[in-house]
Structure 1
Amino acid sequence: MQARLGRTALFVATTTYGGTAAALQTIERVTRIHAHIRGTLPDGTPYVANDPQLIRWVHLGEITSFLRAYQDLSLQPLRSDRQDLYFAEMAQIGERLGAHNLPQTRHQALSQLQDFRSELRVDERTRETIDLIEHYPCAPLDRPLVSLIVRAAFQMLPDWALEMLERERSCALEQAAVRTALQGMGASLAWAFAETGVAARARQRMTTELKAVGSSPGT
């Protein structure tokens, strides 16, 4: 499970900050892997990893969670129109993975997420995954940051999801404290990775590409 979470993080980083060629290569690799993954749920229901409906659920869960985290923790949250643009752009990734009928706006995304509620369940696998996340292996010095991230992640879940997981939402004071702490740490991390992180490399790549376009004949 830990390795799988790592691969998911790499996929997100590549499709978010990588160039078009790298993103398409990563999507193609994931699609090939999905083609060979199949099994049976505890209730006997067969499944395949490249099922368009399953991919749509994963896509919805990811993009709504990413945006919620950004809006909650960023010092410059996105305007409504920029949020819609985010969903429209991310739909291109989900479609290349095989999903259909993906949302183009925030309203559509939240509505489609609600439509999946009747298909969701909490079982032993869910509890095992949560336990892994809450006790994610990391260096002792990283533990405070990881703990804050996990606490914030649970508080960003919609009320119905917390209810399914039998968890209560933290009080407003605790939520504010966690948010402030993460914003402070985030600013420090942004400074530390200003020249070497994936976002920095993406900016450098875009600068190079724009200069190349600007210097080409006819521009």
Structure 2
Amino acid sequence: MKSLRARVGDSIFARIAGDEGPARRERIHFSEGPRRYPPGSAIHQVHGDASMFVGGLRALLLQSLHPLAMAAVDQHSGFRGDPWGRLQRTSTFLAETTFGTIEDADRAVSIVRSVHEHISGTAPDGRAYAASDPHLLTWVHIAEIDSFLRAHDRYGATRLDASGRDAYVAETAHVARGLGAQDVPESVDELDELLASYRPELTSTPAARRAARFILVHPPVPLVMRAPYGLLSAAAVGLMPRWARLPLRLPYLPVTEATAVRASGTAVTKGIRWAISTA
């Protein structure tokens, strides 16, 4: 059983962290130096939990509803050509900025901010966009932390109380500001208000619908991983707000989502948590 657990854990870790994952993990978690967030902090609890797999998928779906943010991803990220590479870069960034030394975390933010400065273009509707636009950066941030927090609320090993949920939002604000976001929320109430303020800008686009199909229907995962991935994606869809379903052509099945989807989401996140605890 221990051998099986190790093999499964190593396989999952290799997918999300890449070939250099073990070396990066050693550097991030064991390098000497002060950390921005102490052990046991809200951001450690959320970002270190298997519920992040569900939250990450929900974040991608929700973020795609902003046509300018989606245009930047569609035209520059190469997520369809190299989805695992993008996942590995994102997971490394989250690990560095959450668990790494302050020096390493700030360096990671500086690198991403520099990359953003060179990404710009024109969306299909004729509007110009830039990845360094504070308004778009704020949208990407709030869609992400709302997704991570809601996934943790539903599937996390240890749930946060109200003060812990506010603390999580406040702790994630530092990196968002470092990337160039402005008017970043520091409480759940502020997060909810800001999300609502973006609603008039969100819409269905062909690029968003293609991204949803890619993520949910044609995922780049080996056949052996299709079943657990399907459970994760169903759990992610089950956490999407009702107003976001129709633009992405996502189903709304409240009874099924409250029973079968929730049970299977709990089972698969527990399974991942069990496997990666030794990875």
Fold conserved (TM > 0.5)? yes
Return closer, same or farther for 1:124/1:80 CA change in 2, 3 Å cut-off.
Answer: same
Counting only pairs closer than 5 Å after superposition, residues 60-139 of structure 1 correspond to structure 2 as: 60-134=142-216, 135-139=218-222
Return closer, same or farther for 1:141/1:152 CA change in 2, 3 Å cut-off.
Answer: same
Look up the match of 1:153. 236
Please give the alpha-carbon distance, in whole angstroms, between the structure 2 residues aligned to 1:5 and 1:63: 16
Q: Given that residues 31 and 50 in structure 1 are in contact (C-alpha distance below 8 angstroms), is that contact kept between their aligned partners in structure 2?
A: yes
Letter paired with 1:178? V
Match 2:253 to one of 170, 173, 184: 170
Identity %: 34
Q: Given that residues 185 and 194 in structure 2 are in contact (C-alpha distance below 8 angstroms), is that contact kept between their aligned partners in structure 1?
A: yes
| Structure 1 residues without counterparts, runs of 5 or longer | 197-219
Q: Given that residues 152 and 175 in structure 1 are in contact (C-alpha distance below 8 angstroms), is that contact kept between their aligned partners in structure 2?
A: no
* Larger radius of gyration between Structure 1 and Structure 2: 1
Deviation string for 1:20-78 (max 9, x for gaps)? Answer: 23322211111010010010011111111100000000001000000011111124321
Look up the match of 1:186. 269
Deviation string for 1:125-153 (max 9, x for gaps)? Answer: 11111111011111111111111111111
Deviation at 1:4, TM superposition (A): 3.4
Look up the match of 1:203. none
Look up the match of 1:51. 133
Q: Given that residues 238 and 257 in structure 2 are in contact (C-alpha distance below 8 angstroms), is that contact kept between their aligned partners in structure 1?
A: no
Look up the match of 1:143. 226
Please give the alpha-carbon distance, in whole angstroms, between the structure 2 residues aligned to 1:40 and 1:119: 16
Q: Given that residues 122 and 164 in structure 1 are in contact (C-alpha distance below 8 angstroms), is that contact kept between their aligned partners in structure 2?
A: yes
Name segments (4+ residues, structure 1) moved above 3 Å.
3-6
State TM-score, norm by structure 2: 0.66
Deviation at 1:91, TM superposition (A): 0.5
Deviation at 1:176, TM superposition (A): 2.4
Q: Given that residues 149 and 182 in structure 1 are in contact (C-alpha distance below 8 angstroms), is that contact kept between their aligned partners in structure 2?
A: yes
Deviation at 1:6, TM superposition (A): 4.2
Match 1:16 to one of 83, 91, 98: 98
Q: Given that residues 87 and 104 in structure 1 are in contact (C-alpha distance below 8 angstroms), is that contact kept between their aligned partners in structure 2?
A: yes
Q: Given that residues 155 and 266 in structure 2 are in contact (C-alpha distance below 8 angstroms), is that contact kept between their aligned partners in structure 1?
A: yes
State TM-score, norm by structure 1: 0.83
SS at 1:116 equivalent:
helix
Letter paired with 2:265? L
Letter paired with 1:176? T
SS at 1:102 equivalent:
coil
Return closer, same or farther for 1:193/1:6 CA change in 2, 3 Å cut-off.
Answer: closer
Q: CA-atom RMSD, angstroms?
A: 1.7
| Structure 2 residues without counterparts, runs of 5 or longer | 1-78
Q: Given that residues 212 and 248 in structure 2 are in contact (C-alpha distance below 8 angstroms), is that contact kept between their aligned partners in structure 1?
A: no
Q: Given that residues 60 and 113 in structure 1 are in contact (C-alpha distance below 8 angstroms), is that contact kept between their aligned partners in structure 2?
A: yes
Q: Provide the aligned length of Structure 1 versus Structure 2.
A: 196
Please give the alpha-carbon distance, in whole angstroms, between the structure 1 residues aligned to 2:225 and 2:182: 39
Please give the alpha-carbon distance, in whole angstroms, between the structure 1 residues aligned to 2:263 and 2:97: 29
Please give the alpha-carbon distance, in whole angstroms, between the structure 1 residues aligned to 2:187 and 2:257: 31
Look up the match of 2:278. 195
Letter paired with 2:271? S
Return closer, same or farther for 1:111/1:151 CA change in 2, 3 Å cut-off.
Answer: same
Letter paired with 1:86? Y
Return closer, same or farther for 1:140/1:105 CA change in 2, 3 Å cut-off.
Answer: same
